[in-house]
């Protein structure tokens, strides 16, 4: 690394956030590692002069503001924000409660917004910075049993795409990361919550889906340590990508989605073009 950067990472006590924090420290950067339980974060990362552990529940704007203030007081700046903390509410939409949908959106969409809102004034004053938000291939294409999760990740992608032109004039870059299946802790019992089966019409498929998702924990093909290194590489680029499709399976998902979109465009191109107002059609 050409110079030490200050990384601010949410959900740094375990899973992908822990891998990113370890990689950033190993590359001789300063790291603000945050989590709801700072003791767990400290146990996971140990002690370092370049490490600041801060309590942060991303659903709390007050926590976000306090954590950012502590980071600036310790290191003077924030160069890279990694919005990583998330959870997973799995289940068929009709069986997911409104409260479960709200909790999914609050953690995986509103939470990153809370943290980013607190960090952006720091980056704007610096006239530099990089906001990296960990989305998912579910932010590109929805999937059965994933209505809540995909809704939150589609929200992250739309928010970040719209944020990019707003903050770029201040020297702040943005990157959406769309990982495929990585061997993180998202599918553990601590991070995954299931809808309670309640509708007979879904019963058979529900059982099969539940069994599938539980079986995937620890079997994912992606290596989170390699993803962490990839993020370090991206963060060093003068013009980092606005989107990084992470993993061979994520590339497959993205390419299939692009192909499906193109097919839908082509199938209804004539009908779509017929919708112009008559005066516009006359001018053309």
Domain ranges of the chain: 6-246, 248-284
Q: Give the pTM.
A: 0.91
Tens of each residue's pLDDT in the chain, 284 residues: 347 899 999 999 988 999 999 999 999 999 999 999 999 999 999 999 999 999 999 999 999 999 999 999 999 999 999 999 988 899 999 999 999 999 999 999 999 999 999 999 999 999 999 999 999 999 999 999 999 999 999 999 999 999 999 999 999 999 999 998 866 655 556 557 888 888 999 999 988 888 877 777 655 676 889 999 999 999 999 999 999 999 999 999 999 999 999 999 999 999 999 999 886 556 66
Q: Check 92, 149, 194, 202 and give the catalytic one.
A: 149
CATH class of 6-246: alpha beta
- Per-residue confidence (pLDDT) for residue 49, from 0 to 100: 95
Asked if residues 126 and 68 have their Cβ atoms less than 8 Å apart, the reply is no
Provide the residue count of the chain: 284
Is 194 part of the annotated catalytic residue set?
Answer: no
d(C-alpha 56, C-alpha 43), whole Å:
16
Percentages of the chain per state (helix, strand, coil), in multiples of 5: 55, 15, 30
- Per-residue confidence (pLDDT) for residue 4, from 0 to 100: 87
Residue 267 in tokens = 């199938």
- Per-residue confidence (pLDDT) for residue 188, from 0 to 100: 57
Sheet-wide strand order for 129-134: 51-55, 30-35, 6-9, 80-83, 129-134, 172-179, 243-246
Q: Measured between alpha carbons, how far is residue 4 from residues 50, 98, 171 in Å?
A: 10, 44, 18
Residue 130: closest CA among 93, 173, 162, 186: 173
- Per-residue confidence (pLDDT) for residue 1, from 0 to 100: 38
Residue 216: closest CA among 191, 241, 188, 251: 188
d(C-alpha 17, C-alpha 181), whole Å:
15
| Residue 11, SS3 per DSSP | coil
Other beta carbons less than 10 A from residue 230's beta carbon: 16
What is the DSSP annotation of 207-250?
Answer: HHHHHHHHHHTTT-SB-HHHHHHHHHHHHTSSS--SEEEESHHH
Residue 152 in tokens = 């939150």
- Per-residue confidence (pLDDT) for residue 190, from 0 to 100: 59
Instruction: Give phi and psi for 263, each to the nearest 5.
Output: -65, -40
Residue 95: closest CA among 1, 199, 12: 199
- Per-residue confidence (pLDDT) for residue 211, from 0 to 100: 82
End-to-end Cα separation, the chain, in angstroms: 55
- Per-residue confidence (pLDDT) for residue 84, from 0 to 100: 95
| Residue 32, SS3 per DSSP | strand
Asked if residues 74 and 10 have their Cβ atoms less than 8 Å apart, the reply is no
Other beta carbons less than 10 A from residue 199's beta carbon: 11
């Amino acid at each position: 690394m050409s110079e030490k950067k200050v990384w601010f990472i949410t959900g740094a006590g375990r899973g992908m956030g822990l891998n990113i924090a370890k990689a950033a420290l190993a590359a001789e950067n300063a790291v603000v590692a945050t989590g709801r339980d700072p003791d767990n974060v400290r146990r996971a990362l140990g002690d370092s002069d370049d490490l600041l552990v801060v309590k942060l529940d991303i659903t709390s704007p007050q926590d976000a503001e306090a954590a950012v203030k502590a980071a600036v007081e310790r290191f003077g700046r924030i160069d890279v924000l990694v919005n990583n903390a998330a959870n997973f509410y799995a289940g068929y939409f009709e069986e997911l409660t409104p409260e479960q949908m709200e909790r999914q959106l609050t953690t995986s969409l509103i939470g990153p917004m809370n943290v980013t809102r607190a960090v952006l004034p720091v980056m704007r004053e610096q006239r530099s910075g990089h906001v990296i938000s960990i989305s998912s291939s579910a932010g590109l294409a929805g999937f059965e049993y994933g209505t809540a999760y995909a809704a939150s990740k589609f929200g992250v992608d739309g928010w970040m795409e719209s944020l990019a032109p707003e903050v770029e004039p201040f020297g702040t870059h943005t990157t959406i990361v769309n990982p495929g299946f990585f061997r993180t802790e998202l599918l553990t019992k601590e991070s995954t919550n299931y809808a309670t089966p309640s509708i007979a019409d879904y019963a058979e498929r529900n059982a099969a889906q539940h069994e599938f998702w539980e079986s995937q924990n620890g079997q994912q093909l992606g290596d989170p340590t390699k993803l962490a290194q990839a993020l370090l590489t991206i963060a060093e680029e003068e013009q980092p990508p606005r989107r990084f499709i992470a993993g061979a399976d994520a590339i497959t998902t993205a390419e299939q989605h692009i192909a499906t979109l193109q097919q839908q465009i082509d199938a209804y191109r004539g009908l779509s073009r017929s919708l112009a107002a008559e005066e516009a059609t006359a001018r053309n």
